[in-house]
Amino acid sequence: MAKTKILFITHEMSPFLELSKISEIARQLPQAMQEKGYEIRILMPRFGTINERRNRLHEVIRLSGMNIVVNNNDNPLIIKVASIPAARMQVYFLDNDEYFNRKHIFSDKTGKFFADNDERAIFFCKGALETVKKLGWSPDVVHCHGWMSTLIPAYLKTSYKNDPTYKDAKVIYSLYNDSFKENLGEEFAKKALTSSMKDEDVSHYKDATHLSLYQGAINYSDALVLAEDNIHEDLLKIVKNVEIPVIDVQNDTDFENYCNLYEQFASEELETV
Protein backbone atom coordinates (compact mmCIF):
# COMPACT_ATOMS: atom_id res chain seq x y z
CA MET A 1 0.00 0.00 0.00
CA ALA A 2 1.39 3.43 -0.95
CA LYS A 3 2.55 5.73 1.81
CA THR A 4 0.31 8.63 2.76
CA LYS A 5 1.96 11.86 1.55
CA ILE A 6 1.80 14.92 3.79
CA LEU A 7 2.83 18.41 2.71
CA PHE A 8 3.67 20.78 5.57
CA ILE A 9 3.57 24.50 4.80
CA THR A 10 4.76 26.83 7.54
CA HIS A 11 6.30 30.27 7.92
CA GLU A 12 8.66 29.13 10.68
CA MET A 13 10.43 26.00 11.82
CA SER A 14 13.10 25.20 14.37
CA PRO A 15 16.10 25.46 14.16
CA PHE A 16 15.89 27.85 11.19
CA LEU A 17 13.40 30.37 12.60
CA GLU A 18 11.84 30.33 16.05
CA LEU A 19 9.13 32.93 16.62
CA SER A 20 6.36 30.98 18.31
CA LYS A 21 4.94 27.55 19.16
CA ILE A 22 4.62 26.96 15.43
CA SER A 23 8.37 26.48 15.02
CA GLU A 24 8.37 23.67 17.58
CA ILE A 25 5.41 21.80 16.09
CA ALA A 26 6.65 22.30 12.52
CA ARG A 27 9.95 20.70 13.54
CA GLN A 28 8.65 17.78 15.59
CA LEU A 29 5.46 16.78 13.76
CA PRO A 30 6.98 16.02 10.32
CA GLN A 31 9.70 13.91 11.92
CA ALA A 32 7.17 11.99 13.99
CA MET A 33 5.07 11.31 10.89
CA GLN A 34 8.08 10.26 8.87
CA GLU A 35 9.07 7.82 11.59
CA LYS A 36 5.53 6.40 11.45
CA GLY A 37 5.97 5.66 7.75
CA TYR A 38 4.46 8.72 6.09
CA GLU A 39 6.12 10.47 3.18
CA ILE A 40 6.60 14.14 3.95
CA ARG A 41 7.70 17.44 2.37
CA ILE A 42 8.22 20.75 4.20
CA LEU A 43 8.14 24.27 2.72
CA MET A 44 8.84 27.63 4.37
CA PRO A 45 10.09 31.12 3.37
CA ARG A 46 13.82 31.85 3.36
CA PHE A 47 13.70 34.95 5.54
CA GLY A 48 16.87 37.04 5.59
CA THR A 49 17.55 36.16 9.22
CA ILE A 50 18.13 32.52 8.25
CA ASN A 51 21.87 32.09 7.89
CA GLU A 52 22.50 30.15 4.69
CA ARG A 53 26.07 29.14 5.53
CA ARG A 54 25.37 28.00 9.07
CA ASN A 55 22.28 26.07 8.00
CA ARG A 56 23.90 24.83 4.79
CA LEU A 57 21.22 26.00 2.42
CA HIS A 58 21.89 25.53 -1.26
CA GLU A 59 19.86 26.34 -4.35
CA VAL A 60 17.90 23.63 -6.15
CA ILE A 61 18.48 24.65 -9.75
CA ARG A 62 15.85 22.35 -11.24
CA LEU A 63 13.14 23.93 -9.07
CA SER A 64 14.24 27.55 -9.34
CA GLY A 65 13.55 29.88 -12.23
CA MET A 66 9.78 30.23 -11.95
CA ASN A 67 8.09 33.62 -11.78
CA ILE A 68 5.22 34.14 -9.35
CA VAL A 69 2.76 36.87 -10.31
CA VAL A 70 1.67 39.16 -7.48
CA ASN A 71 -0.30 42.33 -8.19
CA ASN A 72 0.47 41.98 -11.93
CA ASN A 73 4.22 41.85 -11.29
CA ASP A 74 6.46 38.89 -12.09
CA ASN A 75 8.59 37.92 -9.11
CA PRO A 76 11.42 35.38 -9.48
CA LEU A 77 11.20 32.36 -7.19
CA ILE A 78 14.39 30.74 -5.97
CA ILE A 79 14.18 27.38 -4.20
CA LYS A 80 16.80 26.35 -1.68
CA VAL A 81 17.06 23.26 0.47
CA ALA A 82 18.64 22.31 3.78
CA SER A 83 18.81 19.07 5.69
CA ILE A 84 18.27 18.17 9.31
CA PRO A 85 20.63 15.18 9.55
CA ALA A 86 19.39 14.00 12.96
CA ALA A 87 15.88 13.68 11.54
CA ARG A 88 16.82 12.67 7.99
CA MET A 89 14.53 15.44 6.73
CA GLN A 90 14.90 18.07 4.03
CA VAL A 91 13.29 21.51 4.15
CA TYR A 92 12.58 23.54 1.01
CA PHE A 93 12.94 27.31 1.30
CA LEU A 94 11.18 29.80 -0.97
CA ASP A 95 13.35 32.82 -1.64
CA ASN A 96 12.98 36.17 -3.35
CA ASP A 97 15.35 39.09 -2.77
CA GLU A 98 12.67 41.77 -2.77
CA TYR A 99 10.32 40.01 -0.36
CA PHE A 100 12.58 38.09 2.00
CA ASN A 101 16.12 39.49 1.97
CA ARG A 102 15.68 41.59 5.12
CA LYS A 103 17.12 41.69 8.62
CA HIS A 104 13.67 41.45 10.19
CA ILE A 105 10.70 39.11 9.70
CA PHE A 106 7.32 40.89 9.69
CA SER A 107 8.19 44.34 11.08
CA ASP A 108 11.13 46.71 10.66
CA LYS A 109 13.60 47.64 13.40
CA THR A 110 11.16 50.22 14.77
CA GLY A 111 8.37 47.64 15.03
CA LYS A 112 6.43 48.90 12.02
CA PHE A 113 4.59 46.17 10.12
CA PHE A 114 6.04 45.83 6.61
CA ALA A 115 3.71 47.47 4.08
CA ASP A 116 4.15 44.58 1.65
CA ASN A 117 3.38 41.75 4.08
CA ASP A 118 0.25 41.17 2.01
CA GLU A 119 2.28 40.50 -1.14
CA ARG A 120 4.85 38.47 0.77
CA ALA A 121 2.11 36.13 2.01
CA ILE A 122 0.57 35.84 -1.48
CA PHE A 123 3.96 35.15 -3.03
CA PHE A 124 4.70 32.47 -0.45
CA CYS A 125 1.38 30.67 -0.88
CA LYS A 126 1.43 30.74 -4.67
CA GLY A 127 5.10 29.82 -4.75
CA ALA A 128 4.65 26.89 -2.37
CA LEU A 129 1.93 25.30 -4.50
CA GLU A 130 3.86 25.82 -7.73
CA THR A 131 7.02 24.38 -6.17
CA VAL A 132 5.25 21.16 -5.21
CA LYS A 133 3.90 20.87 -8.75
CA LYS A 134 7.42 21.17 -10.08
CA LEU A 135 8.55 18.50 -7.65
CA GLY A 136 6.12 16.14 -9.38
CA TRP A 137 4.81 15.03 -6.01
CA SER A 138 1.09 14.80 -5.18
CA PRO A 139 0.22 15.15 -1.49
CA ASP A 140 -2.72 13.37 0.09
CA VAL A 141 -2.83 15.95 2.88
CA VAL A 142 -1.74 19.59 2.93
CA HIS A 143 -1.20 20.78 6.50
CA CYS A 144 -0.82 24.55 6.97
CA HIS A 145 0.74 26.37 9.93
CA GLY A 146 0.83 30.11 10.57
CA TRP A 147 -0.99 33.15 9.18
CA MET A 148 1.27 33.42 6.13
CA SER A 149 -0.24 30.17 4.85
CA THR A 150 -3.91 31.17 5.21
CA LEU A 151 -4.46 31.51 1.46
CA ILE A 152 -3.36 27.94 0.76
CA PRO A 153 -6.77 26.36 1.55
CA ALA A 154 -8.55 28.90 -0.68
CA TYR A 155 -6.21 28.29 -3.60
CA LEU A 156 -6.48 24.52 -3.27
CA LYS A 157 -10.29 24.55 -3.23
CA THR A 158 -10.65 27.00 -6.13
CA SER A 159 -7.81 27.68 -8.55
CA TYR A 160 -6.07 24.32 -8.00
CA LYS A 161 -9.09 22.09 -7.39
CA ASN A 162 -8.76 20.30 -10.74
CA ASP A 163 -4.97 20.31 -10.86
CA PRO A 164 -3.68 16.70 -11.03
CA THR A 165 -1.18 17.46 -8.26
CA TYR A 166 -3.83 18.52 -5.75
CA LYS A 167 -7.23 17.33 -6.94
CA ASP A 168 -7.48 14.62 -4.27
CA ALA A 169 -5.70 16.48 -1.47
CA LYS A 170 -7.37 17.26 1.84
CA VAL A 171 -6.50 20.45 3.72
CA ILE A 172 -5.79 20.75 7.43
CA TYR A 173 -5.28 24.12 9.07
CA SER A 174 -3.65 24.41 12.51
CA LEU A 175 -4.73 27.28 14.74
CA TYR A 176 -2.22 28.95 17.03
CA ASN A 177 -1.96 32.07 19.12
CA ASP A 178 -0.12 33.87 16.30
CA SER A 179 -2.43 36.82 15.73
CA PHE A 180 -1.26 40.27 14.66
CA LYS A 181 -2.79 43.68 15.33
CA GLU A 182 -2.11 45.23 11.95
CA ASN A 183 -4.06 45.02 8.69
CA LEU A 184 -2.78 43.65 5.38
CA GLY A 185 -4.57 46.41 3.49
CA GLU A 186 -7.79 46.90 1.56
CA GLU A 187 -6.25 45.50 -1.64
CA PHE A 188 -5.21 42.17 -0.09
CA ALA A 189 -8.17 40.11 -1.29
CA LYS A 190 -7.99 41.60 -4.78
CA LYS A 191 -4.26 40.95 -5.03
CA ALA A 192 -4.80 37.37 -3.83
CA LEU A 193 -6.99 36.50 -6.82
CA THR A 194 -5.40 34.15 -9.29
CA SER A 195 -6.35 32.16 -12.37
CA SER A 196 -10.11 31.52 -12.50
CA MET A 197 -10.85 32.81 -8.98
CA LYS A 198 -13.71 35.24 -8.46
CA ASP A 199 -14.20 38.00 -5.90
CA GLU A 200 -16.55 35.84 -3.84
CA ASP A 201 -13.82 33.20 -3.53
CA VAL A 202 -11.82 35.56 -1.31
CA SER A 203 -14.70 37.37 0.39
CA HIS A 204 -13.75 36.02 3.83
CA TYR A 205 -10.28 37.57 3.46
CA LYS A 206 -11.54 41.02 2.50
CA ASP A 207 -11.04 42.75 5.86
CA ALA A 208 -7.38 41.59 5.84
CA THR A 209 -7.21 41.34 9.64
CA HIS A 210 -5.74 38.31 11.37
CA LEU A 211 -9.27 37.12 12.13
CA SER A 212 -10.32 37.60 8.51
CA LEU A 213 -7.38 35.54 7.26
CA TYR A 214 -8.15 32.70 9.64
CA GLN A 215 -11.84 32.85 8.72
CA GLY A 216 -10.86 32.38 5.09
CA ALA A 217 -8.57 29.45 5.85
CA ILE A 218 -11.21 27.78 8.03
CA ASN A 219 -13.86 28.22 5.33
CA TYR A 220 -11.82 26.18 2.85
CA SER A 221 -10.26 23.59 5.17
CA ASP A 222 -11.34 19.98 5.61
CA ALA A 223 -10.26 19.83 9.27
CA LEU A 224 -8.90 22.10 11.98
CA VAL A 225 -6.33 21.56 14.69
CA LEU A 226 -6.23 23.50 17.96
CA ALA A 227 -2.49 23.42 18.40
CA GLU A 228 -2.05 25.49 21.57
CA ASP A 229 -3.97 27.32 24.26
CA ASN A 230 -4.66 31.07 24.37
CA ILE A 231 -6.11 31.02 20.85
CA HIS A 232 -7.98 34.26 20.20
CA GLU A 233 -11.48 34.16 21.72
CA ASP A 234 -13.16 35.45 18.54
CA LEU A 235 -11.43 32.74 16.54
CA LEU A 236 -12.67 30.03 18.89
CA LYS A 237 -16.21 31.36 18.43
CA ILE A 238 -15.85 30.77 14.69
CA VAL A 239 -14.49 27.27 15.28
CA LYS A 240 -17.49 26.34 17.43
CA ASN A 241 -19.78 26.81 14.44
CA VAL A 242 -17.88 24.83 11.83
CA GLU A 243 -19.11 21.51 10.47
CA ILE A 244 -15.70 19.95 9.89
CA PRO A 245 -13.57 17.88 12.27
CA VAL A 246 -11.77 19.88 14.97
CA ILE A 247 -9.14 18.18 17.11
CA ASP A 248 -7.41 19.50 20.21
CA VAL A 249 -3.79 18.36 20.29
CA GLN A 250 -2.39 20.44 23.16
CA ASN A 251 -1.52 17.33 25.17
CA ASP A 252 -0.73 15.11 22.20
CA THR A 253 2.96 14.59 22.96
CA ASP A 254 3.27 11.47 20.79
CA PHE A 255 1.25 12.98 17.89
CA GLU A 256 -1.25 10.12 17.85
CA ASN A 257 -4.22 12.44 17.28
CA TYR A 258 -2.49 13.90 14.24
CA CYS A 259 -1.79 10.40 12.97
CA ASN A 260 -5.43 9.37 13.41
CA LEU A 261 -6.59 12.46 11.50
CA TYR A 262 -4.20 11.82 8.63
CA GLU A 263 -5.35 8.21 8.46
CA GLN A 264 -8.99 9.28 8.20
CA PHE A 265 -8.05 11.44 5.22
CA ALA A 266 -6.11 8.62 3.62
CA SER A 267 -9.06 6.24 3.98
CA GLU A 268 -11.52 8.98 2.96
CA GLU A 269 -13.56 8.30 6.07
CA LEU A 270 -13.54 11.76 7.54
CA GLU A 271 -15.14 11.89 10.95
CA THR A 272 -14.91 14.15 13.97
CA VAL A 273 -12.14 13.04 16.31
What pLDDT, on the 0 to 100 scale, is given for residue 267?
Answer: 62
Is 175 inside any structural domain?
A: yes
Give the mean pLDDT per block of 10 residues along the chain (273 residues).
Answer: 87 94 94 93 96 93 92 94 90 96 94 95 97 94 96 96 92 90 93 90 93 94 92 89 89 84 70 41
User: What separation in angstroms does the CA of 155 have from each of 17, 136, 186, 220?
Assistant: 26, 18, 19, 9
**Do residues 91 and 42 touch, judged by C-beta distance below 8 A?**
yes
193: domain CATH number is 3.40.50.2000
Is 272 inside any structural domain?
A: no
Is 273 inside any structural domain?
A: no
Is 132 inside any structural domain?
A: yes
Number of domains in the chain: 1
Containing domain of residue 93, as a range?
5-266
Among residues 2, 1, 50, the alpha carbon closest in space to that of 23 is found at: 50
Is 178 inside any structural domain?
A: yes
Is 83 inside any structural domain?
A: yes
What pLDDT, on the 0 to 100 scale, is given for residue 269?
Answer: 43
What pLDDT, on the 0 to 100 scale, is given for residue 270?
Answer: 41
Is 182 inside any structural domain?
A: yes
Residue 88: HSE in the Cβ half-sphere, 13 Å Cα cutoff: 6
What pLDDT, on the 0 to 100 scale, is given for residue 268?
Answer: 57
Is 271 inside any structural domain?
A: no
